[in-house]
Amino acid sequence: MSVAESAGPVPVETAEAARAAAAGFKNVCGRLKAEVAKMFVGQHDVVDGVLTALLAGGHVLLEGVPGLGKTLLVRTLSEAVSLRFSRIQFTPDLMPADIQGTTVLTETAGGGHELSFQEGPLIANLVLADEINRATPKTQSALLEAMQERQVTIGRRTIILEEPYCVMATQNPVEQEGTYPLPEAQLDRFLLKLLVGYPAETEYHGILDRTTGAAVEAAQPVTDGAEIVRMRATVRAVAEPDPARTYAVRLVLATQPNSDHAPKSVTENAALGASPRGVQGLILAAKVRALLDDRFAIATDDIRAVALPVLRHRVLLNYRAQSANVTADALIEDVLAAVPAPNAVA
């Protein structure tokens, strides 16, 4: 049920501006999707999720087995948005200086030498962190500063990262040898965690058409970083009716064991629930979804639609759940079933 009408009457000028902003937002997203589709086949929910993270100003974690096109998706999106792109292949021997940058000794034109700073791949607009869980905690902490503070610190030097800034990380869910599980603090910095599955049978033909033929079509820039920044401001301006906010808050409370809103399955199987960042993530992702539906106020359905990708990595399972093969997704489904919709809230 939509709760957009709960926001109250909107002045004509404001309503017209909101409709225009939503239409422009949807138009740019449509062009971006069309360019991505030239290279990346299917997986529409994943594409929507990646765009949601970029436009909401968050980061995204893509989990799937090798060969599903996760790297291709991020690279294609960077080409369509015309952003400064960098890719980091994480390995256990990668050091913080390898991704942040370091001071090196260079030769000058006159034959002398001088110390100069060489930027690392973290200093970009769109950063692909490939197989992020292969890096040691020390290197992951360097990435965490960039994700949270939008800056990189090397010694006494602090570099403010240019907006828009977005980290899109990938990890393999099955090959765990030589990996370092991401700490909860770092997982919490990702706005969304998207599960990338196998393509449908019909999509395999599209993949072959794009990859085994004589000519491969390339994505063309359809927008730029400045417009992405403006679109992020549009997202922030979307209305948040009180019933929708209350619903988002109660969903997050219901993921916390022993909360008044938590179903029995959560109390028995969850060690930790979502933090306040979970509420922020629900609202921001819901705002993007509302704009794509030509609305300038979020609704209950928007919150429900984004609950799994926003919350699945914020619910930490206990040993009982792990031994019984209970998943975070299953607990979130229980939460969605247990928490009443706003019109049923007393």
Please tell me the predicted confidence (pLDDT) of residue 215. 65
- Taking each helix axis from N to C terminus, what angle separates 300-311 and 276-292, rounded to the nearest 10 degrees? 130
Residues 39 and 34: their CA atoms lie apart, in Å, by 9
Please tell me the predicted confidence (pLDDT) of residue 231. 92
Please tell me the predicted confidence (pLDDT) of residue 10. 41
Domains and CATH numbers, the chain: 4-82+168-344 (1.10.8.80)
Residue pair 261/291 in contact by the 8 Å Cβ criterion: no
- Taking each helix axis from N to C terminus, what angle separates 70-81 and 44-56, rounded to the nearest 10 degrees? 50
SS3 annotation, 52-89: HHHHHCCEEEEECCCCCCHHHHHHHHHHHHCCCEEEEE
Please tell me the predicted confidence (pLDDT) of residue 244. 94
Contacts of 169 (CB under 8 A, 6+ apart): 59, 60, 61, 62, 128, 129, 130, 132, 190
Residues 178 and 136: their CA atoms lie apart, in Å, by 10
180-236: pLDDT as tens digits: 778 788 889 999 999 998 888 888 888 888 777 766 677 788 889 899 999 999 999
Q: Is 260 left (phi over 0), alpha (psi -120 to 50) or beta?
A: alpha
Per-residue tokens: 239: 């209305």
Report, as ranges of residue numbers, the positions in the chain whose pLDDT lies below 70.
1-15, 105, 174-179, 214-216, 343-346
The distance from CA 37 to its chain's CA centroid, rounded to whole angstroms, is 19
Q: What is the pTM of this model?
A: 0.86
